[in-house]
Structure 1
Amino acid sequence: MAVELIRIVSRSSPMALAQVERVRTELAALAPGVRTEVVPVTTSGDRWMGDLGKLGGKGAFTKEVDAALLAGKADLAVHCMKDVPADRPLPAGTVFAAYLRRDDIRDALVDPAGRTLGELPPGTRIGTSSVRRIAQLAATRPELACVPMRGNANRRLEKLAAGEADALLLAVSGLHRVGEQARISQVFGVDEMCPPIGAGVLGLQCREDDTEVIDLVSGLSDPGTFREMEAERMFLHVLQGHCNSPIAGYAKAERDGRLSLWGRVFSPDGKQVLDAHEWAGPLDPATLGTSVAVALLRQGARELIDSIPH
């Protein structure tokens, strides 16, 4: 029996719903006869504005979504891959059937006065709760003050307008998704601000026994992005980082089939930076992810990660 309806479960934030609309648009082009409907859920991560570590880390954004999928209330979950933990396996019975073509992986500065990072005076309050961003800021501009700020991009922009911070660090792709890219005052190169694992990638998760939906949505997958995600998620899995670990990195699939992966681990104060970069042939991205992680472990990544409270 052909698939007639796909129920898509998603977090209910404007950002998450914008991501779902991209999936619906691409599905409509791929399979015009298939209807889609959205099943919104509010996750514990969305409700909680404190330290994510106290909620069990990044899984706080995915638990309720996974539950709806496994209970059969939905057929497909849309995840921002940077929010999906890789230190533990996917929930039993689920699989990522596709990764959409990757968006911009870079970070951006949003400063109402339009200044660049180098132009911000000492003591400027930067709104971010990302340990990855905080560590990299501490390494380059330790005289700036980071103030904790969670919530989706729209919510953070509201907090900026309310004076809770002087500037923000946000993902370029996220600002584009909510139509706020005009707010960007500086885009950082990946050498200036290394992105999180899974940056700019939407993953489509299905029940592994739902072969009809898997077969259909796998047609949306971008082959290069799929290989990048396999390498990055294995990298993170081998490192066994937790949500307070300043780990960054990205894989890049070249048009000729070559694949590279850059991985970095920081101390929270940015004073210690471990770095590894390797190329693989056209085969086995997971081996590349393992190899780069092992290179960082040889430099002391395990000790550095385990020394950070979580």
Structure 2
Amino acid sequence: MAQSAPLLRIGTRGSPLALVQANTVRSMLARANGADEAAFEIVVIKTTGDAIQDRPLSEVGGKGLFTKEIEEALLSGRIDLAVHSAKDMPTISQPGLLLAACLEREDPRDAFISLKAKSLADLPQGAHLGTASLRRQAIVMAARPDLKVTPLRGNVETRLRKLESGEVDATLLAMAGLNRLGLSQHATRAMSVEEFLPAVAQGAIGIETRGDDNRTRQMVARINHTATFIAVACERAFLAALDGSCKTPLAGHATLSGDTLHFRGLIARPDGKGAHDVTGNGHIRDAVRIGDDAGRALKKIAGPGFFD
């Protein structure tokens, strides 16, 4: 008997974390749409970001390298939706694509991980901290200019192995990824949002579809977490206003309290020697405007040349 065509084809990267996220979306879609999980096919797509492991992504094109091939598969019709870590999504979607939904946000905080110290402050003078994130580098260097920050690439498990083998004395990873992989025991200390402002959309899973694919959009809408979607829209508007890319250390985090949205954004120099932050508050219906206003305000405060 011929196998029936899948109800939807879900595109994803092939890392352990990406597959956990894609399978979570598949389970939720099946429940919400009264279908069997087997009706949703997971299609693994290798991205340029996965292939390049020997240098920081900021040197070769930024975070869009984790989504480019998946978005191409979506535009060509090879897949019906894409599951991304929302923080990896380009600032502006490719024409014809849109962020259709977000799952409820996981813990947005960064985890400090070390076998030699209980916190960033406790690291010995001149210790090596490994990270591929310019945001994490800038915040670390502002707090501990004596530390040596070195690039550390690879998936979560790879980076933990490199830490355990002594390549670096400490690293920083997203709590969300550790939690989803069942590896939260590796976190030496969760850094508060106040002391270590997260990346835009950190902890959120984004679901991308074609703009004209109403059937898929309707099915995906049933699993959208409205509060997360609103917060991510605010944060991404902040990123867009700053023309944010991997080459600029910036952070932004929105939280909702009833109908009120609170936002804080930060821009910094990679060496940690200059930083500016801004806050914004308002009604949740103005989420995009609040993020956009915050980005424009920071651009003005920083002045020309700050991002050079």
Scaled to the shorter chain, the TM-score interval is over 0.9
- CA apart distance, 1:63: 0.5
State the secondary structure of the residue aligned to 1:12.
coil
Match of 2:306 in 1: 304
1:1-310 equivalences in 2 (<5 Å): 5-34=7-36, 35-49=39-53, 50-86=55-91, 89-113=92-116, 115-254=118-257, 256-300=258-302, 302-305=304-307, 307=308
* Alpha-carbon contact 2:209-2:216 (below 8 Å) kept: yes
Between 1:279-288 and 1:259-268, the stretch displaced more is 279-288
- CA apart distance, 1:81: 1.1
* Alpha-carbon contact 2:10-2:80 (below 8 Å) kept: yes
- CA apart distance, 1:124: 1.6
RMSD: 1.5
* Alpha-carbon contact 2:129-2:170 (below 8 Å) kept: yes
* Alpha-carbon contact 2:239-2:295 (below 8 Å) kept: yes
Q: Distance in 2 between matches of 1:4 and 1:168?
A: 41
* Alpha-carbon contact 2:255-2:263 (below 8 Å) kept: yes
- CA apart distance, 1:46: 0.6
After TM superposition, what 4+ stretches of structure 1 lie above 3 angstroms from structure 2?
A: none
Q: Distance in 2 between matches of 1:220 and 1:242?
A: 29
Q: Distance in 1 between matches of 2:261 and 2:22?
A: 29
- CA apart distance, 1:145: 1.5
Identity of matched residues, %: 38
- CA apart distance, 1:302: 4.9
Q: What's the TM-score once normalised by structure 1's chain length?
A: 0.93
Q: Distance in 1 between matches of 2:111 and 2:225?
A: 25
Q: Distance in 1 between matches of 2:97 and 2:181?
A: 29
Q: What's the TM-score once normalised by structure 2's chain length?
A: 0.94
2:186 alignment partner AA: R
Between 1:109-118 and 1:161-170, the stretch displaced more is 109-118
- CA apart distance, 1:113: 4.2
State the secondary structure of the residue aligned to 2:79.
coil
State the secondary structure of the residue aligned to 1:252.
strand
Which ranges of structure 1 fall in alignment gaps of 5 or more residues? none
Q: What number of residue pairs does the alignment pair up?
A: 301
* Alpha-carbon contact 1:45-1:55 (below 8 Å) kept: no
Deviation per CA, 1:81-134: give whole Å up to 9, x if none.
111121xx3111111110111111100111124622222111221110110011
- CA apart distance, 1:283: 2.1
Q: Distance in 2 between matches of 1:54 and 1:296?
A: 24
Which ranges of structure 2 fall in alignment gaps of 5 or more residues? none
State the secondary structure of the residue aligned to 2:201.
coil
Between 1:291-300 and 1:182-191, the stretch displaced more is 291-300
* Alpha-carbon contact 1:154-1:178 (below 8 Å) kept: no
* Alpha-carbon contact 1:231-1:289 (below 8 Å) kept: yes
* Alpha-carbon contact 1:112-1:183 (below 8 Å) kept: no
Deviation per CA, 1:225-268: give whole Å up to 9, x if none.
111111111111011122110101111111x2101110110111
2:65 alignment partner AA: A
Deviation per CA, 1:117-162: give whole Å up to 9, x if none.
2221112211101100111001111112111101111111121122
* Alpha-carbon contact 1:99-1:204 (below 8 Å) kept: yes
1:73 alignment partner AA: R
Q: Distance in 2 between matches of 1:251 and 1:56?
A: 27
